[in-house]
Amino acid sequence: MTNSPASQASRAEVTSTQTPVSDFRKALRPWLKPKIIMGGSLVFLLIFMGVLAPIISPYDPNVQNLGNTLKAPQWLEGAHFLGTDHVGRDILSRIFYGARISLVIAGTVVVISGVIGVGLGAISGYFAGRTDFFIQKLVEVIWAFPPLLLAIAVIAFFGQGLWILIAALVAQRWIPYCRVSRGQALSLRTRDFVDAARSLGARDTRIIIKHILPNLMQAAMVIGTFAMATAIISEASLSFLGLGVPPEIPTWGSMLADGRAYISTSWWLALFPGLCIFFTVLGINLLGDGMRDIFDPRLKRSGSGVG
């Protein structure tokens, strides 16, 4: 083996070109697990369908044709790939637009719940004492309600509508964020970097925003993925009960509810929205599970968390 300056230089060159690639691969490796790839693909498909619904939908999802009702899926051989429903609407178009609503509702619910839950959790844990007591009592009271029943009560009281539905779903979904955040904040408030910030004269608000909240984000992201899945299921359940968004907005839950009456004669009405809910929730759960494996230090150390 030669050890000339030239060979040393070339080795250094190789090392310098190889190192960044290795870091990137190293960083990427945990994300290349089957469940993350599968879950991510399904979520990407949901986002793709939802965002591009107006472009990729062959028909207006609300246009009815009473002369063309309950047509079976025609696949590539006819005008309606997945068939038509009981008032002659194109099911494929409604599936695409349904993805949009599922995405909007689930995304909004997760964001609002996250902001409320993480915020209150951080305050509760950081201040501890009386503040913590009152916030946790509130958490316990709201947590005592069965989630679907609470949502039904909110909708029954305020009426139907997209924002009311979101509010009904948020009503209890902020609690898991709050509980986890509070636990972490209780631990973080005694850490050296918080003491250091405090001794430098930083106010509580600044400490919470600059030092506590950033450390709560990873856990919040994991909770968010699972919350997204449950929000989609809850929206579908409420729409199934006729308590979701108004009927002119296509959702998978309401499509499933409409299709229930035709399950033995026109199976395609219920099957396709049912499959969409199934695969979306599966995708989000796989992704959430994968993210938890990556972010959970205990799983990292033990070497588990492989897909």
Partner 1 sequence: MRKLLSLRTAAAALTMAAAVTLTATSATAQKKVVIGATGNIYGWNPYQDSAAQMYGIWCNVYGCLCRYDFKKANYSPMLAESWSVNPKDPNEWTFKLRKDVKSHSGAELTAADVVHTINRIKTDKQSSQKQNVRPLKSATAIDKHTVQMITKKPTAHLLQHVCDIYAITRKEVFDKHGPRNADRKYPDGFGPYALDRVVIGEQVITKRAKNSVFGNKDNPDILIWRKMAEVEQRVTALLNGEIQIAQFIPPHLMKRVEDGKGTKLSFTDSVEIMMLLMNPAFKPWDNKKLRQAVAHAIDRDTIIKTILQGMAGKLKGAIGPGQIGYDAERSKAFDLAYDPAKAARLVKEAGYPNGVDVEMSTPVGRYVNDKIISQAIVPMLAKVGIRAKLMTPEWSTQWANVRKGKRSFFYQGRGSVIDPGPALAQYFKTGVSPRIKYSNPKYDALFDEVAKEFDPKKRQKLINDAIAVLVEDVPAVFMWRHRLAYGVANNVSISPPANGRIYGENIRIK
Helix, strand counts (H, E) of the chain: 13, 0
Q: How far is the CB of 270 from partner 1 (least distance, A)?
A: 11
156 binds partner 1 (CB under 8 A): yes
160 binds partner 1 (CB under 8 A): yes
Closer to partner 1 by Cβ: residue 124 or 266: 266
**Binding residues for partner 1, how many (CB under 8 A)?**
26
146 binds partner 1 (CB under 8 A): no
70 binds partner 1 (CB under 8 A): yes
Given candidates 32, 51, 72, 263, which one binds partner 1 under the rule CB under 8 A? Answer: 263
235 binds partner 1 (CB under 8 A): no
Task: For the chain, give percent helix, strand, coil, nearest 5.
Answer: 75, 0, 25
230 binds partner 1 (CB under 8 A): no
Angle between helix 213-240 and helix 162-188 axes, rounded to 10 deg: 150
Given candidates 37, 38, 40, 64, which one binds partner 1 under the rule CB under 8 A? Answer: 64
Q: Is 197 exposed, middle or buried (0-12, 13-18, 19+ CB in 10 A)?
A: middle
Question: Judged by CB under 8 A, which stretch of 177-185, 218-226, 255-263, 276-284 contacts partner 1?
Answer: 255-263
Q: What is the 3-state secondary structure (H, E, C) of 135-152?
A: HHHHHHHHHCCCHHHHHH
Closer to partner 1 by Cβ: residue 219 or 238: 238
63 binds partner 1 (CB under 8 A): yes
Cα separation, 253 vs 240, in Å, equals 5
- What contacts 55, CB < 8 A, 6 or more positions away? none
Closer to partner 1 by Cβ: residue 3 or 264: 264
Given candidates 45, 104, 148, 241, which one binds partner 1 under the rule CB under 8 A? Answer: 241
- Give, as ranges, the residues between 87 and 126 that touch partner 1 (CB under 8 A): 87
Question: Judged by CB under 8 A, which stretch of 72-80, 94-102, 245-253, 270-278 contacts partner 1?
Answer: 245-253
Q: How far is the CB of 140 from partner 1 (least distance, A)?
A: 29
Kindly write down the DSSP assignment for every residue of 267-282, as one continuous string: THHHHHHHHHHHHHHH
Closer to partner 1 by Cβ: residue 67 or 201: 67
Q: How wide is the angle at C-alpha 150 spanned by C-alphas 223 and 251, nearest 5°? A: 70
Q: Which helix (H) or strand (E) holds 24?
A: helix 5-28
242 binds partner 1 (CB under 8 A): yes
148 binds partner 1 (CB under 8 A): no
243 binds partner 1 (CB under 8 A): yes
Report the 10 Å Cβ neighbour count for 157.
9
Q: How far is the CB of 134 from partner 1 (least distance, A)?
A: 34
In this structure, are residues 198 and 207 in contact, taking their beta carbons and an 8 Å threshold?
yes
- What contacts 18, CB < 8 A, 6 or more positions away? none
Distance separating the N- and C-terminal Cα atoms of the chain: 42
Question: Judged by CB under 8 A, which stretch of 123-131, 227-235, 237-245, 271-279 contacts partner 1?
Answer: 237-245
Q: Residues in the site for partner 1, rule: CB under 8 A?
A: 62-64, 66-67, 69-70, 86-87, 156, 159-160, 241-243, 246-248, 258, 260-266
